[in-house]
Amino acid sequence: MMDDSTKTGDVSFALEGRLTASNIGPVWAEAAQTLERNPDRRVVVDASRLDYVDNTGIALLFDLKRRRRPKGAEIEIQGLAPNLATLVPDDDPEDLSGAAPQAPSVGLFEQIGRATEQQITYVRRMLAFLSDCGAALLLATRRRGVVRWSETLIVATEAGANAVPIVLLIGFLMGVIIAFEIGLVARQFGAVIFVVDGVGVAMLRELGPLMTAIVFAGRTGAAFAAQIGTQKVNEEINAILTFGLDPIHFLVLPRLLAAVLVVPLLTVFADVVGLFGGALVLVSFDIGFVQFYNHLLGAVGMNDLLVGLLKAAVFGFAIAAIGCERGLSTGAGATSVGLSATSAVVTSIVWVVVLDGLFTVLLSG
């Protein structure tokens, strides 16, 4: 226990028993207060009944020892057992006092500059990466054995076949939702039959590819970034490079090809169940399946399906490329893998929507 007792002008207190992390908090605070209250008096610390200290106790003793105080107001630790005394460091390096160094704060202009530079670097790296991918694809068409088809098949299974249930569910629900929404409005005008046009065009040209791409970005784009990012952290990428192999051929090409093949296929699934969902809803608006089918044939053409599939292939390429690029530019540690995966999903979805807009403008004119 601590007791302030004043005799001969000195302040003294005692440290007793066992001082450990669990009980040292109040003792330390009291000691610090005692020292602050008596800046110009000698302080005697009686440590003769101190049995045991842990690291925090050592830190307390060091804290008492290192304080610089004016002459006549020194701190004297008395009776500290030799085994404990050897553990308390003697010197007072400057770096142990004060708060942990903070990163210097960055001004507004510097922030804008850094962000701009970061974006320029990113665009430049993405362009370089895309040209590398293009070159790899070109080489793949000319020379046999460049593409690792077995790997491509494994990726396609995981990214494609295993994604069928979720794509079916989302496609079906999209068909149901838009048929219902348009149906309610169209009924007011007695134009329910034109809902078939709406559902057909919307599913085939827009929602089929778009929803599939968004599922693919969340499911597979993130997985690509996390897989390749973890390989980067574990130095597998370096191992590939020092074998004289190209990570683009080795890791990226199979994923790109798988994505370009699989996203249009998934889109077909989404289209079919979406139309089926729409037809199901329209039954409740008194339009039978046969009527729906006959009207659909007049409303949409092969052209609409192909535009949707072309979009899907481009989306697939973009998502896979962004996922792989994010993976390859992962920094060190688990945190950066997480950042890469997040960034892959966000960037992919933004780009899918931007590309969708471009398609709409180009193909409508």
If binding is defined by CB under 8 A, does position 58 make contact with another protein? yes
Count residues contacting another protein (CB under 8 A)?
A: 48
Nearer Cβ to another protein, position 51 or 181?
Answer: 51
Considering beta carbons, is residue 89 or 218 the nearer one to another protein?
89
Q: Give me the long-range contacts of 231-237 (CB less than 8 A, separation at least 24).
A: 231/327, 232/327, 232/328, 232/330, 233/330, 233/332, 233/333, 233/334, 233/336, 233/337, 237/328
Q: What is the DSSP string of 148-205?
A: -HHHHHHHHHHHTGGGHHHHHHHHHHHHHHHHHHHHHHHHHTT-GGGHHHHHHHIIII
Q: Which is nearer to another protein, 84 or 207 (CB)?
A: 84
- Using CB under 8 A, pick the residue from 7, 70, 94, 99 that binds another protein: 99
Sign of CA dihedral 169, 171, 177, 179: negative
Phi, psi of 45 (to 5 degrees): -105, 120
**Which CB sits closer to another protein, 226 or 260?**
226
134 near another protein, judged by CB under 8 A:
no
Q: Judged by CB under 8 A, does residue 67 bind another protein?
A: no
Query: With contact defined as beta carbons under 8 Å apart, do 45 and 15 qualify?
Result: yes
Q: Is 360 in the site for another protein (CB under 8 A)?
A: no
Nearest CA to 73 out of 5, 11, 13 is that of 11
Cα gap 156→130, rounded to integer Å: 21
CB-wise, 66 or 219, nearer to another protein? 66
Per-residue string for binding with another protein, 146-165, x by CB under 8 A? --------------------
Burial of 121 (0-12, 13-18, 19+ CB in 10 A): exposed
Residue 39 in the binding site for another protein (CB under 8 A): no
Residues 6+ apart with CB under 8 A from 135: none
Residue 8 touches another protein, criterion: CB under 8 A: no
Residue whose CB is less far from another protein, 62 or 180: 62
Where do the H-state alpha helices sit in 247-333? 247, 253-283, 289-299, 302-328
Q: Which of 84, 210, 257, 287 is in the footprint of another protein by CB under 8 A? A: 84
Least separation in angstroms between residue 100's CB and another protein is 5
C-alpha distances out from residue 38 to 14, 28, 35, 59, 69, Å: 16, 16, 5, 21, 11
Residue of the chain from 56, 230, 291, 342 that contacts another protein (CB under 8 A): 56
Of 233 and 310, CB closest to another protein: 233
Residue choice 48, 55, 238, 294 for contact with another protein (CB under 8 A): 55
Q: Considering beta carbons, is residue 288 or 331 the nearer one to another protein?
A: 331
Give least dist CB 331 to another protein, A: 7
> Counting contacts by CB under 8 A, is residue 96 touching another protein?
yes
Q: Contact between 182 and another protein (CB under 8 A)?
A: no
Separation CA 134–CA 141 (nearest Å): 11
By CB under 8 A, is residue 100 in contact with another protein?
Answer: yes
Return the SS3 of 6.
Answer: strand
Please give the residues from 309 up to 348 whose contact with another protein meets the rule CB under 8 A: 331-336
Can you give the binding site for another protein, defined by CB under 8 A? 1, 15-29, 32, 49, 51-60, 62-63, 83-84, 86-87, 89, 93, 95-97, 99-101, 331-336
